[in-house]
Structure 1
Amino acid sequence: MIGVGLIGTGFMGKCHALAWNSVGTVFGDVPEIKLVHLGEANDELANKKGREFGFAKASGDWRAVVNDPEVDIVSVTSPNQFHPEMAIEALKAGKHVWCEKPMAPALVESRAMTDEARKSGKVAVLGYNYIQSPAFRHIRQLLDEKIIGDVNLVRIEMDEDFMADPEALFFWKHEAASGYGALDDFAVHPLSLVSKLFGRVSRVMCDMAKPYADRAVAGGGRRDVETYDIASVLMRLENGIAGTLLVNRSAWGRKGRIAIQIFGSKGSIVFDQERFNELQLYVTSDRPTEQGFRTILIAPQHKPYDRFIPAPGHGLGFNDLKTIECRELISRLEGKPAHIVDFDEGLEIERTVHAMARSFELSSWVEVR
């Protein structure tokens, strides 16, 4: 049996609850999951969400979750600035940790989280669920098989429009305490894809921008925006591949878009998450009269799509990826190989983000250290 604790019940907290509730139904080969203890900012909210999510206990103090002897693993889904203390305290209490990305606003905090995970010997992983997409996994296979030859350029973008409205109110993601902005709130996701496909980034050149200098505050007045909604980055990967990364939280019309283009000596691969269940493949091995991008629809042959749906073309969604991630986490708990981003790999992503921020400050190329 796995006893689960959950801290936070917002968007990602609900995603974790859905994953813990569904992983057994979808995969069947997992231990019994017991939803033990939910923590929120106050008792009233905790009790309400505890009932909705199916937890046996609920508390208005997250430390009660961490210290509950029935809890084996803690899902940390609080705002970014609270991740370090919560994750470290959970590890010190002998719990495994499933923490949402990014690790922390400050690199020193991410290092402390990683050090504690190593010292504890517990499993500590991060919520990079986009790497679980069957489409992405198939891209990995195509690259391993050299279907498009040697890769020379990867171009990746992530755009959403939840901050595009200049009249939207100031909220916590506009505070410097939450991090740099799109760079660590967003860019970590495409960087997780780059990490799994190509390895580490060695050098970066970054520019950032604020489309709106200030925002209205609930109750009256205005407040300066302290984070950057836009970032543009040139990258050089350790294996010599060139790369570009573009992220924007203020892109009207874009809805959870992660678009990756991979160019090789014998073809190209294109994936756009707004078309979540398909990818595009171009190969020069086709006859010249038939050369062109072909559309590959994700189907039961693209594991683990088959665990959800027996027919091609019906499609998976965001929460399904979280369920797949939960299954991979359980594999790691069982000491088996797992397709997951642990704290060590997550720290490398954080180093890359902070190198990008330094590059912006210095207006120059910066080595990722």
Structure 2
Amino acid sequence: MQLGVGVIGTGFMGKTHALAWRNVKAVLGGVMGPVPVPELRLLCDTPADKAVAMADQFGFAAATSDWQALVRDPAIDVVSITTPNGMHHAMAMAAIAAGKHVWCEKPMALTLAEAEEMADAARARGVVTMVGYNYLKNPAFTHAQRLIHDGAIGRVVQFRGWVDEDYQADPELPWSWRAKLADAGLGALGDIGTHLVSMAHGLMGPIASLIADMQTIHETRPLPDGQGRGVVENEDAAAVVLRFANGAQGSMVISRAAWGRKSRLGFEVHGTKGMIVFDQERMNELQLYQNEGPKAEQGFKTILTGPAHPPYGEFCPAPGHQLGFNDLKVIECATLLRGIAGLEAAHPDFGDALRIERVIHAIADSARNGGSRVHL
């Protein structure tokens, strides 16, 4: 069975989707079973000449500058949406209405109401969906989940998470769509905070309540034409105190203006018998402390991912040789294909991602109301 693939967007995430669709067969051949074979049929971007050039570079059969034409095309079975945030809702709703499966980057939409509409439509139409939380596919992260499930650190009692980058740290960086509520929605929360929430959910379960604060560090930025400065309408940073449904405490700090940090997405999970620590900037390592044996010999140990942490072995047979960011997108793509084939639930789908969206909007609501507690 073949699956016609259409990708909308050719930027950072558009390229990662294209690479994933091209490379997923190598992983599928090893462990993923009888799933549809993706065919790169149509790539969309503007202007048209850019779409043609990128289609040739990425290996797509054809190009268009009309995303609606891509969604309507009967040769397209699944649509990858990698555009700026403000376009996700309209594109996803059109694709769902046309009966297409959808792979959409996060956040789902600008508003919680739009995200809810997307999840409801996908469920009603019966299409398979996936949202781009690729860090959940890291073998180090899934091993952390197994350790917690197996009781390696006892009962979990606290989660501490952080996500810091410096792509908005420079106050003279020109104003862009990322600073505008109508185009980006939430700022650091929507762009990178969602990833941290996805990890918290994956390790600790649902968040029951929270108290939060937000900060816009650079309130204006120079306009691209050099004529004055534009107002930054969303947040650069946030801090959150959490209570999980299982009774554990938690905290999160989020910043897109943290000089020197590139992808510092990480966590500590504290348990009654030990602790797990992870940092995405060292994405092939997991730190584990267990209160076992003589006190003089206790300490953190480094678990270096390898073939013993599937599906690492489908990429490389040698431990310590490292997986990368794009490999995580390949694993994500494989999960989507298995979902379409009915072999497993595609996770996180629009319903799963909606729960993440509810958390980031609850953080914003709490901050806007003076740090009041919000129950989810």
Q: Does TM, normalized by the shorter one, top 0.5?
A: yes
Does 1:44 pair with 2:45?
no
Alpha-carbon distance between aligned partners in 1 of 2:150 and 2:207, rounded to the nearest angstrom: 22
What is the number of residues matched between the two proteins?
369
Aligned counterpart, 1:107: 112
What displacement does 1:339 show? 6.0
TM-score normalized with structure 1 length: 0.98
Alpha-carbon distance between aligned partners in 1 of 2:20 and 2:375, rounded to the nearest angstrom: 34
Identity, % of aligned pairs?
Answer: 47
Does 1:328 pair with 2:335?
yes
Aligned counterpart, 2:260: 253
In the TM superposition, 1:28-107 aligns within 5 A as 28=29, 29=33, 30-107=35-112
Residues 210-247 of structure 1: CA distance to partner in whole angstroms, max 9, x if unpaired?
Answer: 11111111111111111111010111111111110111
Aligned amino acid, residue 144 of structure 2:
I
In the TM superposition, 1:1-369 aligns within 5 A as 1-28=2-29, 29=33, 30-177=35-182, 178-220=184-226, 221-338=228-345, 340-369=347-376
Alpha-carbon distance between aligned partners in 1 of 2:224 and 2:332, rounded to the nearest angstrom: 37
Alpha-carbon distance between aligned partners in 2 of 1:151 and 1:180, rounded to the nearest angstrom: 30
What displacement does 1:255 show? 1.0
Aligned amino acid, residue 253 of structure 2:
L
Residues 150-202 of structure 1: CA distance to partner in whole angstroms, max 9, x if unpaired?
Answer: 01100000011111111111111111121121111111101111112222111
Q: Point out the more displaced range, 24-33 or 79-88.
A: 24-33
What displacement does 1:368 show? 3.9
What displacement does 1:40 show? 1.2
8 A Cα contact 2:102 2:128, kept in partner: yes
Specify the SS of the correspondent of 1:313.
coil
Q: Which runs of 5+ in 1 are unaligned?
A: none
What displacement does 1:26 show? 2.8
Aligned amino acid, residue 67 of structure 1:
R
8 A Cα contact 1:203 1:365, kept in partner: no
8 A Cα contact 1:42 1:61, kept in partner: no
What displacement does 1:366 show? 3.2
What displacement does 1:14 show? 0.4
Specify the SS of the correspondent of 1:36.
strand
8 A Cα contact 1:355 1:366, kept in partner: no
Specify the SS of the correspondent of 1:161.
coil
Q: Which runs of 4+ in 1 moved over 6 A?
A: none
What displacement does 1:71 show? 0.5
Q: How much is the aligned-residue C-alpha RMSD, in angstroms?
A: 1.1
Alpha-carbon distance between aligned partners in 1 of 2:15 and 2:197, rounded to the nearest angstrom: 24
